[in-house]
């Protein structure tokens, strides 16, 4: 168990990039964080950085596409910590294939990770959050859910389709899990991470110029919004989709 009254969170894709920054932002707010990812070594480094904030961390090497694994890991977290206040569904995979070249297996795997993975973990935590009478689920979308993939992005149409699905999942769960659980989504624009550094490199100047706030985003730009959605009280937002893109897609 964590200290009585301590809040806890699960963050997927926490080994690096945006997920890591979110885990650290939640740790800074005093939440114990369970870190889920396929990359075990980097997970251990995130866990050490979380613990440096004086809060507990658990590392969970798991594929979010695995339905039963999500249920088993959530049961283990509840066994260890007693409650789950926040779930951040953030892990996702690239889908660089174009429509004429993608295979059925590639399409299915993208859906299994980027969309079903978020369902798997949301369904697994929901009973505990409903029983607690409160909880927050934050899903990572993408502005490409609204716009389709931009030319500098490494992913193409199939990724945009999964992210559009994430927004529908968010709105549907927000209705089903109300009033106890608030479910919101964040749509990052261009955010410089380990994953995007290479594909963005030739476009950095153009990205800056086409962004009203004059720079490319950082993982911390997303983490600050995730921490708000995870911890702000009172909370009268649910089913919302927040674009965090420096104004690049104002319409
Ligand atoms: N970086 C951007 O510009 C950008 C823009 C829009 C949306 N996003 C979204 O933000 C989130 C984080 O992106 P990022 O740039 O930090 O990516 P990233 O690749 O750096 O991090 C994603 C993490 O998820 C993990 N992961 C992938 N598949 C997994 C699986 N099946 N099970 C468990 N873990 C898995 C990876 O190992 C990785 O550590 C993703 O949902 C992404 O789609 C990012």
Active site residues: 159
Range of the domain at 221: 8-244
Backbone φ, ψ for residue 142 (5° rounding): -170, 150
Q: What is the pLDDT of residue 1?
A: 59
Higher pLDDT pick, 64 / 201: 64
CA of 101 to the centre of ligand 1 (A): 23
Q: Which atom of ligand 1 is nearest to the CA of 63?
A: 32
Is the peptide bond preceding residue 234 cis, with omega within 30 degrees of 0? yes
- Show Cβ contacts of residue 228 under 8 Å, excluding neighbours closer than 6 positions: none
What percentage of the chain exceeds 70 in pLDDT?
98
Cα–Cα–Cα angle for 167, 141, 62, nearest 5°? 110
Give the burial class of 170: count Cβ atoms within 10 A of its Cβ; 0-12 exposed, 13-18 middle, 19 or more buried: buried
pLDDT tens by residue, 139-193 = 999 999 999 998 888 899 999 999 999 999 999 999 999 999 999 999 999 999 9
Residue with tokens 């480094």: 45
CA of 58 to the centre of ligand 1 (A): 19
Distance CA 238, CA 30 (A): 23
Give the count of domains, the chain: 1
Residue with tokens 């590392």: 59
Nearest-CA residue for ligand 1 atom 32 is: 63
- CATH number, domain of 205, equals 3.40.50.720
Nearest-CA residue for ligand 1 atom 38 is: 13
Judged against a pLDDT cut of 70, whether residue 234 lies above it is answered with: yes
The pTM is what? 0.98
Three-state DSSP state, 8? strand
Task: Determine whether the shortest distance from the Cβ of 13 to ligand 1 is under 6 A.
Answer: yes
> Is 1 part of any domain?
no
Distance CA 104, CA 99 (A): 11
> Is 181 part of any domain?
yes
CA of 138 to the centre of ligand 1 (A): 14
Judged against a pLDDT cut of 90, whether residue 213 lies above it is answered with: yes
| C-alpha distances in Å from residue 33, one per residue of 25, 30, 39, 225 | 10, 9, 16, 17
Q: What is the pLDDT of residue 153?
A: 87
What percentage of the chain exceeds 90 in pLDDT?
93
> Is 38 part of any domain?
yes
Judged against a pLDDT cut of 90, whether residue 251 lies above it is answered with: no
Distance CA 237, CA 181 (A): 10
Task: Determine whether the shortest distance from the Cβ of 137 to ligand 1 is under 6 A.
Answer: no
Task: Determine whether the shortest distance from the Cβ of 88 to ligand 1 is under 6 A.
Answer: no
Q: What is the pLDDT of residue 79?
A: 98
CA of 92 to the centre of ligand 1 (A): 4
Half-sphere exposure of 215 toward its Cβ, with a 13 Å CA cutoff?
5
């Amino acid at each position: 168990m964590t200290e009585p009254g301590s809040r806890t969170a699960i963050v997927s894709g926490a080994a690096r990039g945006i997920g890591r920054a979110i885990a650290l932002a939640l740790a800074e707010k005093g939440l114990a964080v369970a870190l889920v990812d396929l990359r075990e070594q980097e997970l251990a480094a995130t866990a050490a950085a979380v613990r440096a904030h004086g809060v507990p961390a658990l590392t969970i090497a798991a594929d979010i596409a695995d339905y039963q694994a999500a249920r088993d890991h959530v049961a283990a977290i509840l066994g260890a910590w007693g409650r789950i206040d926040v779930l951040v569904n953030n892990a996702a995979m690239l889908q660089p294939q174009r429509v004429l070249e993608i295979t059925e297996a590639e399409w299915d795997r993208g859906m299994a990770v980027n969309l079903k993975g978020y369902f798997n973990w949301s369904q697994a935590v929901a009973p505990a959050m409903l029983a607690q009478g409160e909880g927050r689920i934050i899903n990572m979308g993408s502005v490409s859910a609204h716009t389709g993939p931009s030319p500098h992005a490494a992913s193409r149409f199939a990724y945009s389709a999964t992210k559009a699905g994430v927004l529908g999942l968010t709105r549907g769960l927000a209705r089903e899990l109300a009033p106890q659980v608030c479910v919101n989504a964040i749509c990052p624009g261009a955010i410089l991470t380990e994953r995007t550094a290479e594909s963005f490199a030739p476009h950095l100047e153009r990205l800056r110029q086409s962004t009203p706030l004059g720079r490319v985003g950082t993982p911390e730009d997303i983490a600050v919004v995730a921490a708000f959605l995870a911890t702000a009280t009172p909370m009268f937002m649910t089913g919302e989709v927040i674009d965090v893109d420096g104004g690049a897609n104002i319409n």
